[in-house]
Amino acid sequence: MENPSSLQTMLPDSAAHRLLAAARWAKIYGLLLCIFSGFGLLMMLFSLTAIASFSSFFGGREMGLIYFIFFVYMLVLALMLYLNIQLVFFGRDIKTAVLSDDDGYLETGFDRLARYFKIISILMISLVVISLAFGLIMAIVGGASALSAPDTPVYPKTSF
């Protein structure tokens, strides 16, 4: 007896082909982004090693901020590498689910895609909020400095 909840009875052929195409492109896109994220992470490690070897030229106090910036950038690259791996695994799981008619792989693949979009959405909302807050702070500081500026012109008038 045929399983009424199998993938072949739930998806028409055109939907299965489109899902396979989406999985293929997600895998390609994810692999390219994994390469770029991994390359950026390696370059950050090499740069951090070079800066650490030249830290005596910069002084001790300023290096803490530089190391912190590198650390934050490396965390962002590691998070992006994780997200891109999730996208690659989504493509793999969906392809396996469609070709082998396995609902477990389909559910796992869509869970990975949901996780990918959830984290990307949180990052985008955070970026928008930080950008708006930074713009608001810059507008307040710019307005306050314009109001506190002296009335005399910056360049004195000279007569010839």
Q: How is 2-45 classified by DSSP, letter by letter?
A: --TT-HHHHS-HHHHHHHHHHHHHHHHHHHHHHHHHHHHHHHHH
Per-chain mean pLDDT for the chain: 84
pLDDT for 47 beyond 90: no
Contact 31, 88 (CB under 8 A): yes
Contact 19, 98 (CB under 8 A): yes
Distance CA 139, CA 86 (A): 39
| pLDDT at 159 (0 to 100) | 66
Q: Phi first, then psi: give them for residue 157, nearest 5 degrees.
A: -75, 135
Angle between helix 61-100 and helix 103-147 axes, rounded to 10 deg: 150
| pLDDT at 29 (0 to 100) | 94
Band (pLDDT 50/70/90 cuts) for residue 156 is low
Global pTM exceeds 0.75: no
* 109-141 per-residue burial string, b: 16 or more CB within 10 A, e: under 16: beebbebbeeeeeeeeeeeeeeeeeeeeeeeee
Band (pLDDT 50/70/90 cuts) for residue 58 is low
Band (pLDDT 50/70/90 cuts) for residue 160 is low
Q: Phi first, then psi: give them for residue 99, nearest 5 degrees.
A: -75, -30
Mean pLDDT of 123-136: 95
